[in-house]
Structure 1
Amino acid sequence: MDKKTLSIMEYDRVKQKLNRYLVSASGKHEVAKLEPISDELQLQDWIDETKDGADIYRLMSGVPMPKLDDIHPHMKRLEIDATLNGSELAQISRVLQTVNSVRHFFADLKDKEIELRRLYGVAETLTALPDINRRLKTAIEGDGRITDDASSDLKTIRNRITHTEGEIRSTMERFTRGKDTRYLSDAVVTIRDDRYVIPVKAEYKQRFGGIVHDQSQTGQTLYIEPEAVVGLNNRLRSDQLAERDEEQRILAELSDLIRPYSNEIAQNAVILGHLDFVNAKAKYAHALGATEPVISTDNQVSLRQARHPLIDPAKVVANDLELGGEYKAIIVTGPNTGGKTITLKTLGLLQFMGQSGLFIPANEHSQIGLFDNIFAEIGDEQSIEQSLSTFSAHMKTVIDILSQADSRSLILLDELGSGTDPKEGAALAMAILDQIGTLGSEVVATTHYPELKAYAYNRPETINASMEFDTATLQPTYRFLTGIPGSSNALDIAQRLGLDATVVAEARGLTDQDSQDLNAMISDLTAEKRAAEREAEELAVQLDEAQQLHDDLKNQFEQYEKNREKLVNQAKEQANQIVANTREKADQIISDIRKKQLTVGQSVVKENELIDTKGQINALEQHPELKKNKVLQREKNKHDFHKGDEVIVKSYGQQGVLMQQLDKSHWEVQLGILKMKVAVDDLERITQTNQQKQKQPRTSVKRTASSGMSPTLDLRGHRYEEAIQELDRYIDSALLAGYPQVTIIHGKGTGALRKGVTDYLKRNKRVKSFGFSPANAGGDGSTIVKF
């Protein structure tokens, strides 16, 4: 893009606004390099990222991002085998910790089914280094200090230092608080040459013995290390040197640890900086009330209620700006100080913002072009270096623009042809506009030459425009009027300001009739446009009222639908109750039939008919439509316990594993080396979101809601014939209850009951297979039956 135009449009001021929202050095570096682009795919990616950032900011207040320093110099030092200091390692540690938090943040967004266009992919490029992150976090404080836990040796040395310092303080306190205080200049302990000393009056220097380390300026006070603490100070100094050596060893170790991953860490910093940049774009868009622009590859610009981003929102006037559809050239005429220049700058700056992937301060569905270059000549600066006049400098810039522009360019020209004779200036302006039309560029030009009004009217793909001026208040309104040329209003303004009427009338007489007719036409067009806008505003109000009525009716209909569903569910509940009563009676009938079968010794009703009948009765039950409710499903899953599940014991705040269900209300839970009986209400199942842990397969037993029987039958102590009858009834009940298998406990004893059970199971065609239980579950004292 043209550097001069970027400067004219104050593009750097927009980047400065963005900088206020950045917290990372890498993000600030990315903003510093930001420039508009014309690559459609790349630009759409940038806009998509801004849209993702805006959605995240709206829902979650943005991607969590702490202040991150520039770590690239540290990575360079690692490449030359340097050892990093604590502060540098702390900055790297902060980057790795942020990587973890950002990855978890986006994983949570996925779990919440929040749709994003691109940022999920960006987050996946972050490289997690958990071992390095954990080591750095353990060894280095946030301010760069090395922790006691960095190594066991360091902890031991620091403990010795603390102990020695305590001994020194205790010894020194005998001098500063006892009878020796009178020999001191001040009852304090201080440090000289890294050794603890006391300030002693010069005449008593022999009183304490030891070593003199310093004296006051007057020589009246000597800073003496008493003989009683010399040995302690020597020990302290030795430990301090050992501490320093151990700290240097730890720093070298940590530097060697992260050196192989310097590229990954540096790339992490770049990606985090990019996410910080996306955050900043979203926050800036929110502050501006900006919206996502639509890209037009054929350069049809349609900005709805566009606002200049650098003007106070309370004062800025919004305007609709359209270019590149029916017309490729707009000629803005009228007097100065009406807002023509700021309108040009609004168009240019919003186009630059949009082509930089930023949201633009305009209403939704506004459309930007995809220009290869944007050129502007705005202002009346003179080229002092080249000793050129205003006109000459203006013409030189225009010549440069014409030499570079093509059909993919947007040209913005302020006061085209000004600075010379009006007739020649107007002719030159029209010739320049014709040349721009030949190049195929889109152009918006402002001028105060009336000749260009007719030019815009007669040329194809060209339209007049102006800035509205309120003649009643003699103030510009800064509203952009498309299709209406501007008028100077000079005579009307002069008359309202009090100029003698005869002077004004004479001036009108000197104005040619064509100019008067044109100004009258412009006045009429302006009045008609205002009337049309008022009508449009009234229709908009009516449309809003109609939309509100529509929304109210829609809400009432939806409420009706909800109530209807509720009534249907209530009816189903009543039906369920009836079915439950019917099923209870049916169960009793089936039980009576079974007893009769056993009595007469033959099957009056076939077993498959009994089971089919039972299934048909169960199928009558209707359930309210709650199965698709995700909130209820998630809450239910938290309390859907199975053996081997990982759970949180809420009263202890500890994680454990379910071992076995003791009863309906309690589970046995393994907490570390302890096994505890815990109530179901005190448990919450841990759901795996990022990595699904491999769990051992488990067998689930399904049974109907109406069954309350046990999957185990104990026949011990029963007489043989009584036991076989009980077994027959139990097998029937188990089949009706839907059990896939049951366990029959017959004991060992003489073996007669076991043999009777075996013979019965061999004869029963509904039994698929059977066999003794495992040795640790009863062995040949019980039999497992599969249907």
Structure 2
Amino acid sequence: MNERVLHVLEFDKIVEQLKEQAETSLGKEKAAHIFPETDLDKVNRLQEETDEAAQILRLNKVIPFGGIRNIRESLKRSVIGGVLSASECLDIANTMYGGRRVKDFLEDLEEEIPILKQFAEDIAPMREMEQEIRRAIDENGDVLDNASSKLRSIRSQIRTFEASVREKLEGYTRSHAKMLSDAIVTIRNDRYVLPVKQEYRAQIGGIVHDQSSSGQTLFMEPRAVVDLNNKLQQAILNERQEIERILTELSNQIAGVEPTISSNLELLATIDFIAARAKLASKMKASKPRMNDKGIIKMKQARHPLIPDDEVVANDIEIGEEYTAIVITGPNTGGKTVTLKMVGLCTLMAQSGLQVPAFDDCELAVFQTVFADIGDEQSIEQNLSTFSSHMKNIVSIMEEVDDASLVLFDELGSGTDPSEGAALAMALLDEVIARRARVIATTHYPELKAYGYNRDHVINASVEFDVESLKPTYRLLIGVPGRSNAFEISRRLGLQAELIDKAKSLVGIDSKSVENMIASLEKSQIAAEKQYEEAHEILLESEKMRDEIEKEWQTFERKKEELYRKAEEKAEKALKQAREEAEIIVEEIRNMKMNAGLKEHEWIEARKMLEEAQPQLTSKSSSCKQEISEENRPLAPGDDIKLLTVNQQGVVLEQLNEQEYMVQVGIMKVKAKRKDLQYVGRQKQDPERTVATIRGSNAHVKTELDLRGERFEDALHRLEKYVDDALLAGYGKVTIIHGKGTGALRSGVQDFAKQHPAISSARFGGSGEGGSGVTVLELK
């Protein structure tokens, strides 16, 4: 990028705005040297940095840069052996403290800002050096008494001598008041003196250090305090020497860690520079652009960065894919040059790591060079005409332009004969397009209105003009060339209709056709934009309606589930009450069993029938959810399915990826999407080959096993299999009904329970459970 282009596109004004956003002189220095990068990776890195800082601003947080100073000159002097002043040492300590605050702030943020956090990690805390300085120097930049024991002792002597001198001199002010011009103690030449009247000089005696302008007052040091003043001056000299020694020692320590301090300064300057870029983006309401190296520019509602928000007109601009050249035609003062500068300036900003004032998801290209021929650069000193000035610039552009260039031509071919200028403009555009550069050109030549229709990769554009108000709207119309509005404007201004009609009759047929075509295109585009806006409004209303329906549906589902839950609770409560009443009745009848002559196993069977008669309650909402999950569940090899596209059943052979399966339908093996498959069930397995049943599923295993009437060996075989099934079903307790009989089967069940490792205990049934006719097993 050459400096001339930066100046022409007013990039220096962006730099000034950026400097204003920096908090420290270090950051301002960085901002002053900002320059567009031409490497895509570097540009993407800069944009990521800016976006991370913008993310902090979006959280209403501000990086604290207080206390940070530009201490580079002080560091240089310390390295070459210079002695730093107390205020310079204090600035270094404050900068160390400020750097630590920035480090802690960034490291404590929970947001994903890896680049800034890496900068923060690289900042060295330097607490010891900071504390060393603060032990010697206070916040006002003065060396503290406690900086050394010698300095504390010297300053104690100074205070003692000062008190003695002042005490003696104040005695003079009381006893010799008439000899003094004023009863005060003052200082001349760093010594305490009295203002003595001229005529009493001999009576006071001592050393004269000064006199008033009239000569009537002499500032004298009485003979009695000369010795004390001498001791005081010596103590002050000793103080200066000790302070010099302390500052020399601190300067040497600072020089020893200068590389670390300088590294911290560079990191802090970079962080402030990045934060300034984010603040400028916030001020401009800018967004992060996606960058490419393919010459593609796509911006929605882009605004010129230097025009105030209440004046700027936002426009859409796109170039680099379907077409590589835009020719903007139309009258002067319509906004063509503003559009040209906006594209160029946004490109330079994006390549410098700055966000651009456009809608989100905008896209900009990284160009190796940006060329611009904008404005009247006529030079009286060089005796160059407007045309010559433009051509001289264009010649230099044509020497360098290539496929990695963005070229901006303003009023191409102007300043000479219209027919020759138009021809030259078309030739230049053809050459730039042939070199595959991206080019945007403005012109007022009518011959270029048809240029975009006769060339590949070229599109016409214009800036809209409101004939009613006789003012440009500054809206860019892509695909529509500019047309002359002379007749319409003349009519609005009151020119006679006869003169306008006569003028129209003098215009060529081809020109009329072109103007009519342009007018038709303008109307079509305006109508299309209006329809787009209406469709967009309908879309927004539809989305709003969809959201409202979804909310209503969710509310309905919640209410439905709540009703199901309350119904289940009510049913369970009624069943529990009925069960308790039945238990009471059964127990009462049981107590009368001796009279009735009923057998034990008959009571067990009656109890079993009572339990089995209890209905199973299933939540309606749960079953609905299960159906939904079955429909969307992942399929496994062996699952029975229905292939919806052919309405045939088959089986899953293999899962190819997340949404695609290999299935067999009849004799065919086909690939099918998950959405085209309906789950039917799982293929039945051979019982002897079944390894395990899903734990917790008790649909096929009851909590009781009835062995009555079985042969001993068959009964134990069934018992063993039943215990395995009960364990797989997750039961903690089961009941084995063996009856009383001879007691052989009962003993066999008890012995089996003692030897089985998964049975923790076995007991006979209690009252109401079947007594000794059943054995209750506790499973592990």
TM-score after normalising by structure 2: 0.69
Q: Compared with structure 1, are the counterparts of its residues 346 and 237 closer, same or farther at alpha carbon in structure 2 (3 Å cutoff)?
A: same
Q: Where does residue 238 of structure 1 map in the other structure? A: 234
Partner of 2:371: 375
Equivalent residue, structure 2, for 1:165: 162
Q: 2:3 maps to what in 1?
A: 3
Q: Distance in 1 between matches of 2:164 and 2:411?
A: 86
Distance 1:481 1:462 in 2: 14
CA-atom RMSD, angstroms?
2.5
Aligned to 1:148: 145
Corresponding residue of 1:133: 130
2:295 aligned to which of 299, 302, 321: 299
Task: Confirm or deny: 8 A CA contact 1:332 1:444 kept in the other structure.
Answer: yes
Question: Structure 1 counterpart of 2:464, which letter?
Answer: E
Q: 1:476 to 1:226 in 2, by over 3 A?
A: same
Structure 2 counterparts to residues 298-337 of structure 1, below 5 A: 298-337=294-333
Amino acid at match of 1:153: K
- For residues 95-133 of structure 1, give each alpha carbon's deviation from its aligned partner in whole angstroms, at most 9, with x where no partner exists: 211221122112211xxx211141111111112222111
For the residue of structure 2 that corresponds to 1:410, the secondary structure is strand
Note closer, same or farther for the CA distance 1:142–1:460 as it changes in structure 2 (3 Å cut): farther
The corresponding residue for 1:48 is 48
**8 Å CA contact retained: 2:67, 2:97:** no
Matches within 5 A, 1:172-251: 172-176=169-173, 178=174, 180-251=176-247
CA distance in 1, matches of 2:175, 2:525: 101
Paired residues of 1:48 and 1:117 also in contact (CA < 8 A)? no
Q: Give the C-alpha shift of residue 151 in structure 1.
A: 2.2
Shift of 1:342: 0.6
User: Judging changes above 3 Å, is the alpha-carbon distance between structure 1 residues 549 and 248 closer, same or farther for their aligned structure 2 residues?
Assistant: farther
Which residue in 2 is equivalent to 1:88?
88
1:431 equivalent in alignment to 2:430:
no
Alpha-carbon distance change, 564 to 404 in structure 1, aligned in 2, over 3 angstroms: farther
Residue of structure 2 in register with 1:72 after alignment: 72
Distance 2:505 2:120 in 1: 74
- TM-score under structure 1 normalisation? 0.69
Three-state SS of the structure 2 residue aligned to 1:214 is: strand
- Shift, 1:264, TM fit: 1.2
CA contact (8 A) 2:68 2:99 kept: no
Letter of the aligned partner of 1:212 in structure 2? V
Aligned residue number for residue 345 of structure 2: 349
Q: CA deviation at 1:457?
A: 1.3
Q: 1:534 to 1:55 in 2, by over 3 A?
A: same
C-alpha displacement at 1:4, in angstroms? 1.1
Partner Cα separation in structure 2 for residue 205 and residue 559 of structure 1: 106
Aligned AA for 2:7?
S
Distance, in Å, in 2 between the alignment partners of 1:87 and 1:65 is 19
Change (3 A) 1:565 1:367: farther
After TM superposition, list the pairs within 5 Å mapping 1:372-771 onto structure 2.
372-551=368-547
Deviations 1:28-47 (A, max 9, x none): 22122211011111111111
Give CA-to-partner distance per residue, 1:472-510, whole Å, 9 cap, x none: 000011111100100121121122112222222222111
Amino acid at match of 2:300: R
Q: List per-residue Cα deviations over 1:692-727 (Å, max 9, x = no partner).
A: xxxxxxxxxxxxxxxxxxxxxxxxxxxxxxxxxxxx
* Identity, % of aligned positions: 44
**Contact residue 95 and residue 268 of structure 1 kept, 8 A:** no
CA distance in 2, matches of 1:52, 1:562: 41
Change in Cα spacing, 1:551 to 1:198, as seen in structure 2 (3 Å) is farther
Please report how far the alpha carbon of residue 60 of structure 1 lies from its aligned counterpart in structure 2 after TM superposition: 4.7
Q: Within 1, Cα distance between the matches of 2:548 and 2:245?
A: 73
User: Contact between 1:24 and 1:67, CA under 8 Å: does it hold in 2?
Assistant: no
Structure 1 residues not aligned, in runs of 5+: 571-787
Which residue of the other structure, out of 281, 286, 289, is the alignment partner of 1:285?
Answer: 281
SS of alignment partner, residue 20 of structure 1: helix
Question: 2: CA distance between counterparts of 1:90 and 1:83?
Answer: 13
Q: Does 1:38 align with 2:38?
A: yes
Matched, 1:116 2:113: yes
Q: 2: CA distance between counterparts of 1:76 and 1:561?
A: 74
Q: Distance in 2 between matches of 1:66 and 1:96?
A: 11
| 2:359 aligned residue | 363
Q: Secondary structure at the match of 1:160?
A: helix
Letter in 2 for 1:469: F
Q: Which structure has the bigger radius of gyration?
A: 2
Assess if the C-alpha contact under 8 Å between 1:49 and 1:117 holds in 2: no
- For each residue in 1:128-160, what CA deviation from the matched residue of structure 2 results, as whole angstroms up to 9, or x when unmatched? 222111112222334532233322322332333
Given that residues 75 and 262 in structure 1 are in contact (C-alpha distance below 8 angstroms), is that contact kept between their aligned partners in structure 2?
A: yes
Shift in alpha-carbon separation, 1:85–1:323, aligned structure 2, 3 A: same
- Structure 2 CA distance, aligned partners of 1:410 and 1:543? 37
Residue 38 of structure 1 aligns to a residue whose secondary structure is coil
> Cα distance, 1:383 vs. partner?
3.1
After superposition, the C-alpha distances for 1:15-61 in whole angstroms (9 at most, x for unaligned) are: 10011122323222212221101111111111111011111122253
Return the alpha-carbon distance in structure 2 between the equivalents of residues 531 and 378 of structure 1: 33
